[in-house]
């Protein structure tokens, strides 16, 4: 059974050292380029048919809410035009420009490259041809954001209408209050000392918890760290969403089970304070809250163990606040349900594949 994602913490300098030793690079590496070096996978060696596979080993997602919003608006505003802008590419450009440090973010930096691309004077490939780490940031940020913007359909006045834009949702239902701060990496001590690799959102017991992205239920049940929790895989296998400390006695939406297909915006469970107990269904957390985590998976060896990659989702949660799922309570079942029906091709395609 998967441990709570506070159990693994990897220090960047240790990864850099291991990486440098493994490929025999000589010389000093310093400053912000630690992240790029450690993120790039080991160089293939001459192993014949058993040649080692390259994949990203580490991601530090420092993109600000403001940068996410600006890139998103460029993406939506240019959709369907001659020179469409991709928000992941815009963010990857800035990632390469800033060395991943968005403390240096300026809206004018994105506007400058966006106007060049919109004019058709240059392509992104031409703009970034001398940026050594652009492709890394494109893949890394694409893994984080890949399922969040695109085409979908919503049901309005009995008819399905095609839309383009943000199709991911905030993890807390609309109108339900909560408070939070950026607590990624702070210390936790239950069982043993470790770092907090998620984001806590404090609120009221029974607050509906919302699926951020569409996917399928990978794990469901009790964990002594996370209490009642749900783990949802994205369809492309790159993202694992973790929702923990769900409500005692009534943690999940009743229709959910392992393998269930989830639509972004669905109510999947209810906020509680379960966990920190070897015994099931125990409230041992001091404050009602949702622990929300996002793990990136570039290779199956990263799914569990010392190679796990968890990112700071605080700026992402702030960005997603603009798209909260509206819900209504059914008195007969005491369940909350979404009010806006939605369809995505990814959901339909997955259902078809699993039936074959």
CATH code for the domain in which residue 274 is found:
2.70.70.10
pLDDT above 90 (res 2): no
Pair 334, 198 in one domain: yes
Helices (H), 40-106: 65-78, 87-98
Tokens read off for 341: 């029906």
Rounded distance between C-alpha atoms, residue 159 and residue 24, angstroms: 61
Q: Which helix (H) or strand (E) holds 160?
A: strand 159-166
pLDDT surpassing 70 at residue 264: yes
Judge if 185 and 322 occupy the same domain: yes
Q: Give dist(CA 232, CA 236) in Å, integer.
A: 12
State how far Cα 237 lies from the chain centre.
12
Q: Does residue 216 share a domain with residue 105?
A: no
Residues 297, 192 share a domain: yes
Residues 202 and 261 in one domain: yes
Tell me the C-alpha to C-alpha distance, in Å, between residue 1 and each of 137, 269, 304: 32, 20, 10
Residue 50 in any domain: the answer is no
Judged against a pLDDT cut of 70, whether residue 348 lies above it is answered with: yes
What is the DSSP secondary structure assignment for residue 271, as one 8-state letter?
B
Does residue 229 belong to any structural domain of this protein?
yes
Both tokens of residue 320? 């997603």
| Per-residue pLDDT tens digits for 144-155 | 999 999 999 999
Q: Is the pLDDT of residue 216 over 90?
A: yes
Q: Does 31 reside within a domain?
A: no
| Per-chain mean pLDDT for the chain | 87
Mark whether 133 and 258 lie in a shared domain. no
Residues 263 and 144 in one domain: no
**Do the beta carbons of residue 93 and residue 127 sit within 8 Å?**
yes
The angle at the Cα of 213, spanning 333 to 98, to the nearest 5 degrees, equals: 145
Measured in whole angstroms, the distance separating CA 161 from the mean position of its chain's CA atoms is 27
Q: How does pLDDT run across 65-99, given as a tens digit for each residue? A: 999 999 999 999 999 999 999 999 999 999 999 99
Q: Does 342 fall in a domain?
A: yes
> Domain check: are 127 and 189 in the same one?
no
Pairwise CA distance, residues 330 & 143, whole Å: 36
Domain shared by 134 and 211, yes or no: no
DSSP letter for 6, please: T
287 is a domain residue: yes
Q: Are 232 and 211 in contact (CB under 8 A)?
A: yes
Look at residues 9, 8, 12 and name the one whose alpha carbon lies nearest to residue 31. Answer: 12
Residues 91 and 192 placed together within one structural domain of the fold: no
190-193, Cβ contacts within 8 angstroms, sequence gap of 24 or more: 190/225, 190/276, 191/224, 191/225
Instruction: Examine the pLDDT at 28 and tell me if it is beyond 70.
Output: no
Is residue 7 over pLDDT 50? no
Look at residue 323 and tell me if it is in a domain.
Answer: yes
CB–CB of 112/93 below 8 Å? no
Query: How does pLDDT run across 102-145, given as a tens digit for each residue?
Result: 999 999 999 999 999 999 999 999 999 999 999 999 999 999 99
Average of per-residue pLDDT across 300-325: 96
Alpha carbons within 13 A on the beta-carbon side of 275: 29
Q: Which helix (H) or strand (E) holds 33?
A: helix 33-39
**Of the listed ranges 6-20, 53-67, 204-218, 308-322, the one predicted with least confidence:** 6-20
Q: 31 pLDDT band (50/70/90 cuts)?
A: very low
Specify if 29 maps to a domain.
no
Q: Which residues pair with 201 in a beta bridge?
A: 180, 290
pTM value?
A: 0.86
310 in helix, strand or coil? strand
The Cα–Cα gap between 208 and 286 comes to 19
Q: How many domains does the chain have?
A: 2
User: Containing domain of residue 336, as a range?
Assistant: 178-355
Helix (H, G, I), strand (E, B) or coil at 315: helix
Query: What is residue 346's predicted lDDT score, i.e. its pLDDT?
Result: 94
Percentage of residues of the chain with pLDDT beyond 90 = 78
In DSSP notation, 66-83 reads: HHHHHHHHHHHHHTTSSS
Is 30 within a domain?
A: no
Q: What is the pLDDT of residue 148?
A: 98
CA-to-CA distance for 171 and 323, rounded, in angstroms? 10
115: tokens are 């106007």
């Amino acid at each position: 059974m998967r441990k709570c994602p506070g159990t693994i913490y990897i220090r960047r300098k240790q990864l850099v050292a291991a990486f440098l030793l493994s490929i025999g690079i000589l010389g000093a590496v310093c400053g912000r380029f630690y992240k790029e070096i450690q993120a790039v996978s080991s160089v293939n060696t001459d192993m014949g048919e058993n040649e080692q596979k390259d994949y990203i080993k580490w991601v530090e997602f420092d993109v600000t809410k403001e940068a996410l919003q600006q890139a998103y608006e460029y993406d939506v505003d240019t959709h369907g035009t001659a020179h469409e802008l991709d928000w992941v590419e815009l963010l990857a450009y800035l990632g390469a420009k800033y060395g991943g440090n968005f403390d240096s973010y300026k809206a004018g930096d994105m506007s400058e490259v966006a106007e060049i691309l919109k004019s058709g004077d240059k392509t992104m490939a031409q703009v970034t041809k001398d940026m050594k780490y652009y492709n890394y940031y494109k893949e890394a940020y694409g893994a984080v954001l890949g399922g969040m913007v695109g085409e979908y359909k919503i049901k309005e006045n009995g008819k399905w209408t095609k839309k383009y834009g943000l199709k991911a949702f905030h993890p807390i239902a609309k109108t339900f209050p909560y408070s939070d701060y950026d607590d990624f990496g702070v210390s936790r001590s239950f069982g043993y000392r470790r770092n907090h690799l998620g984001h806590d959102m404090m609120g009221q017991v029974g607050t509906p918890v919302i699926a951020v992205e569409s996917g399928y239920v990978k794990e469901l049940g009790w964990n002594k760290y996370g209490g009642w929790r749900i783990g949802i895989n994205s369809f492309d296998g790159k993202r694992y969403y973790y929702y923990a400390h769900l409500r005692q006695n009534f943690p999940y939406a009743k229709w959910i089970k392992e393998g269930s297909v989830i639509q972004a915006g669905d109510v999947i469970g209810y906020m509680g304070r379960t966990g920190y107990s070897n015994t099931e269904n125990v409230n041992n957390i001091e404050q009602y809250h949702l622990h929300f985590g996002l793990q990136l998976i570039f290779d199956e060896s990263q799914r569990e163990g010392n190679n796990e990659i968890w990112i700071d989702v605080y700026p992402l949660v702030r960005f997603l606040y603009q798209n909260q799922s509206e819900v209504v309570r059914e008195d007969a079942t005491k369940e909350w349900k979404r009010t806006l029906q939605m369809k995505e091709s990814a959901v339909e395609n997955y259902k078809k594949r699993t039936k074959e």
